Structure 1
């Protein structure tokens, strides 16, 4: 997306026309910019730079690579505080139309945000996600490795969700650059360029859809030490929902949930 561009000349610019269907950005909708920056700096070691969209927006840097965005618009736009993944699409208008045709919701957009267009959507079970059409990060492969480990959709029916997203995002259509979809280890797994970039899970294969699950996309950030991040989260006003040596599910002071995964446990 445009906030995440590195200077031209460092690498070939990649667009959503050649890499599509894969997650290409993650953004946090928060209430307060400074509080969010302080928390994620302490927990994930991020630094910050201004974004082109205005004073309520910032871009997070990990080792000088843009990895995520923050938008302090939750109160102003009456939106939930949450992390949202964005998927690369060849046409934002087509993606929005496909979502509506399949029982999903178009919440915002498509909006023109040069050098591309974006929309905020929800699937038919209510899980929120976004789409982006246009130029991606100039150094695409660097972002893929510095950004989230992957994203996981927790939903009531993994196969129904995979059909929805596959039709909206052109998964597994045999075109060059599209994502591959497999069933591995009890989950639907999305691969882009051989890397696991998303998972969809709903419990055991034989189990009926679980009506108690509130469908949502969970963002997993790669870190050096998950327990250390969990301690930092508690020390800075957040909370720990679950913890193991390899992974911790955390909640920031505003209530946004995310996961940190130790690189050695990937």
Structure 2
């Protein structure tokens, strides 16, 4: 996370960053550079971390996964909280897990958690970027939680992050026919959908947070991904008329490119 004028208390509950811990940082940088046109600069956290840029604006953080950690590579969203210790306590009280932290960084404190269904997410207390907002600019188009039960997930995140069914300020969570929508000022920042299978052998079916990135041409990004060792997960066939496609990078991390 990088230093900025805003702090997490002023945007509590908001998605404030996304990260990827890759098996090999240079290979991951090359893949996302080819697929999404990203360039990179140091993150100020050592040689094993960088900030991905789109047209010079920050998009995400990418780091090297320690070789001793045998965990799945995945995109992980972080949410702003006013007090990381209090948020970590709320997570544990509701039957979920705080796997790492809270840890101190140069501009704040963070913890990595898993919700009751096992979907990984992070919480962050400290400085946040004023030029990064989901749904706007270079930030992801939106985030999506794939879970087993929409209402259970909405209750958990609402209690942990302060999302409310209706709110004049802050982040409001609205239940729709087959999903829930998190929004601020009518801007969709996240969605919650059910249908995930906790014990599935297929990573795409397990509970998880999923990141959507806007691209100028979906078919071009798909072709670049396939050429760089990625896999097209859905739809099964690429075409020039594609409006959305889910991809798996060479390390196994899932993400979606969208023209929407």
Deviates more, 1:209-218 or 1:35-44: 209-218
Q: Do 1:74 and 1:80's aligned partners in 2 also have CA atoms closer than 8 Å?
A: no
Structure 1 residue 15: Cα displacement: 1.4
CA distance, structure 1, for counterparts of residue 132 and residue 34 of structure 2: 26
Structure 1 residue 192: Cα displacement: 2.2
Matched, 1:45 2:45: no
Deviates more, 1:186-195 or 1:120-129: 186-195
Q: Do 1:118 and 1:132's aligned partners in 2 also have CA atoms closer than 8 Å?
A: yes
Q: 1:145 aligns with which of 112, 128, 137?
A: 137
* 1:24 alignment partner in structure 2: 16
Deviates more, 1:136-145 or 1:43-52: 136-145
RMSD: 2.0
Q: Do 1:18 and 1:177's aligned partners in 2 also have CA atoms closer than 8 Å?
A: no
Matched, 1:250 2:235: no
Structure 1 residue 194: Cα displacement: 2.4
CA distance, structure 2, for counterparts of residue 143 and residue 245 of structure 1: 20
CA distance, structure 1, for counterparts of residue 67 and residue 218 of structure 2: 30
Deviates more, 1:20-29 or 1:32-41: 20-29
Change (3 A) 1:238 1:149: same
* 1:238 alignment partner in structure 2: 230
The size of the alignment, in residue pairs, is 250
Change (3 A) 1:114 1:180: same
Q: SS state of the match for residue 141, structure 2?
A: strand
Q: Do 2:134 and 2:141's aligned partners in 1 also have CA atoms closer than 8 Å?
A: no
Q: Do 1:104 and 1:124's aligned partners in 2 also have CA atoms closer than 8 Å?
A: yes
Alignment deviations for residues 168-227 of structure 1 (CA, whole Å, 9 cap, x no partner): 001118777520010235211000232111100015xxxxx8665410111101111112
Query: When the two structures are superposed, what TM-score results if normalisation uses the length of structure 1?
Result: 0.88
Q: Do 1:92 and 1:118's aligned partners in 2 also have CA atoms closer than 8 Å?
A: yes
Matches within 5 A, 1:204-219: 213-219=205-211
* 2:238 alignment partner in structure 1: none
* 2:47 alignment partner in structure 1: 55
Matched, 1:189 2:154: no
CA distance, structure 2, for counterparts of residue 141 and residue 124 of structure 1: 26
Change (3 A) 1:154 1:32: same
Structure 1 residue 88: Cα displacement: 0.9
* 2:91 alignment partner in structure 1: 99
CA distance, structure 1, for counterparts of residue 221 and residue 248 of structure 2: 11
CA distance, structure 2, for counterparts of residue 128 and residue 142 of structure 1: 18
Structure 1 residue 138: Cα displacement: 3.4
Q: Do 1:119 and 1:131's aligned partners in 2 also have CA atoms closer than 8 Å?
A: yes
Q: SS state of the match for residue 151, structure 2?
A: helix
Q: SS state of the match for residue 17, structure 1?
A: helix
Q: Do 1:19 and 1:177's aligned partners in 2 also have CA atoms closer than 8 Å?
A: no
* 1:71 alignment partner in structure 2: 63
Change (3 A) 1:181 1:68: same
Change (3 A) 1:113 1:162: same
For structure 1, the 5+ residue unaligned runs are 7-12, 204-208
For structure 2, the 5+ residue unaligned runs are 236-240
